[in-house]
Amino acid sequence: MVSVPECFSESYAEARPKFCSAAAEAGGALRSWLNPKARGPSGEALYLDTARFGADDAPNMLVLIAGTHGVEGHCGSGAEIAWLRSGGPAKLPKDTGALVVHAINPYGFAWTRRVTEDNVDLNRNFVDHDKPYPKNDGYLAIADAVLPQDWSEASKAETERVFAAYAQKHGAFGLQGAISSGQYTHPDGIFFGGNTPTWSNRTIRAVARQELSRARRVGIIDFHTGLGPFGHGELICAVTPAAKSFPRAKAWYGDELTSPEGGTSTSAVVVGIMTDAFPQELPDAEVTPIAIEYGTYSVPEVLGAVRADNWLHQRGNVASALGRELKADIKERFFPSGDKWREMVWARAEQTIGWALKGLGAP
């Protein structure tokens, strides 16, 4: 019997060997991709690891991805390890393989941050960097409040005043969109999409080409945390409802599926998401991607933790007492302590993986 809470890890340094061991024991072919640009808090090397199961030419491929937003890797890693330890690979249909991607953003996982080593939100980085970037006038209006000069009661009160005024005019969801939909003007801000493809962007594209080029059908589950009711896993289809993959996702997941553009999701509409890379790199395959978003705490608490962490790395001292306090807070906001939440994560992940495998095998 698998102990679900023991599948989850308190740090990247704990999670990586746990994942590699579980993948090897399940018979996976392991590959590791060293991030040459960053090190962990103790100077450790940082890797994106993959485990491949099934025949090289399997027509159907299940893809599980953890750590797009680094600190959220605690959740995705735990779900992946639970799947590996509970015999998931051995239960795959004969024409179906699996690719498990661990710590696609190892820097963020190791440093308890959502962003990459470039301060880039990986789920806003997959735009065409040769074209004009999407505008976000809302972020421009509140940027100074997002990143104050100091982190004090006075600065926090002023930020709340600015946010409240914006929400009064544009609504609470309008404020959430201004903050979180993505911006390309403030490299020191939050939800920054970057001005070039990051290492994680380039690497996951290489992984897709190397591991999935022979697949005809690819079903992707990307693990996230931070929005929605505590422990509930919302199944988000981030592509437009007009996209070819949307009706497939709807057929696979039914009424469980939500759509930011359709107004049924807790997520704002975002651009440049990571799973966009797969249909781009696999033009001959049917790619059906979703994100599974597990609720933790309220949106203001979660966004407050993101802002605090950004301030800490831009203008504060990570090693200070305040730094340790803010780090503990952002970890809790994206990876709640206690066994109950972790058990809820795996129950929903197991259910969703089942739906994905059924969808991949449908005629």
Q: What does the pLDDT read at residue 226?
A: 96
Spatial strand order in the sheet of 29-39:
29-39, 45-53, 96-102, 60-65, 217-230, 286-295, 233-236, 257-258
**Is 61 in the same domain as 126?**
yes
DSSP state of 134: P
DSSP state of 91: G
Tokens of 327: 């780090």
**Is 203 in the same domain as 73?**
yes
**Is 47 in the same domain as 151?**
no
**Is 52 in the same domain as 78?**
yes
Tokens of 111: 């440093």
Q: What does the pLDDT read at residue 266?
A: 85
Q: Which amino acid is at 127?
A: V
Residue 78 φ then ψ, to 5°:
-60, -40
Distance separating alpha carbons of residues 117 and 108, to the nearest angstrom = 7
Polymer length of the chain: 363
**Is 13 in the same domain as 111?**
yes
**Is 291 in the same domain as 321?**
no
pTM (predicted TM-score) = 0.97
**Is 150 in the same domain as 10?**
no
Residue 179 has a CB neighbour count (10 Å cut-off) of 26
SS3 363: coil
What would you report as the CA-atom Rg of the chain, rounded to the nearest whole angstrom? 19
CA torsion sign for 227, 51, 204, 312 is positive
**Is 321 in the same domain as 200?**
no
Q: What does the pLDDT read at residue 165?
A: 96
DSSP state of 268: P
Under a CB-based contact definition with an 8 Å cutoff, are residues 9 and 15 in contact?
yes
Tokens of 268: 């704002």
Q: Structural domain tally of the chain?
A: 2
DSSP 146-203: HS-SS-SHHHHHHHHHHHHHHHHHH-HHHHHHHHHS-BSS-TTSSSB--SS--HHHHH
DSSP 79-119: HHHHHHHTTTGGGS-TTEEEEEEE-SSHHHHHTT-SS-TTS
Distance separating alpha carbons of residues 236 and 260, to the nearest angstrom = 8
Distance separating alpha carbons of residues 71 and 9, to the nearest angstrom = 11
With CA atoms as reference, report the closest residue to 49 among 77, 25, 69.
77
**Is 90 in the same domain as 207?**
yes
Q: What does the pLDDT read at residue 89?
A: 98
Tokens of 155: 């600065």
**Is 117 in the same domain as 160?**
no
Q: What does the pLDDT read at residue 263?
A: 84
Q: What does the pLDDT read at residue 270?
A: 86
Q: What does the pLDDT read at residue 269?
A: 82
How far is C-alpha 340 from the geometric centre of its chain's CA atoms?
A: 21
Domain that holds residue 171: 137-190+301-329
**Is 184 in the same domain as 40?**
no
Burial class of residue 132 (count of CB atoms within 10 Å of its CB; 0-12, 13-18, 19+) = exposed
Q: What is the pLDDT along the chain (363 residues), one digit of tens a residue?
A: 899 999 999 999 999 999 999 999 999 999 999 999 999 999 999 999 999 999 999 999 999 999 999 999 999 999 999 999 999 999 999 999 999 999 999 999 999 999 999 999 999 999 999 999 999 999 999 999 999 999 999 999 999 999 999 999 999 989 999 999 999 999 999 999 999 999 999 999 999 999 999 999 999 999 999 999 999 999 999 888 888 899 999 999 999 999 888 888 888 888 899 999 999 999 999 999 999 999 999 988 999 999 999 999 999 999 999 999 999 999 999 999 999 999 999 999 999 999 999 999 988
CATH number at residue 121: 3.40.630.10
**Is 270 in the same domain as 314?**
no
How far is C-alpha 90 from the geometric centre of its chain's CA atoms?
A: 26
**C-beta pairs of 170-176 under 8 Å, 24+ apart in sequence:** 170/138, 173/268, 174/138, 175/138, 175/142, 176/268, 176/299, 176/303
Q: What does the pLDDT read at residue 57?
A: 95
Give residue for tokens 């102990």: 3
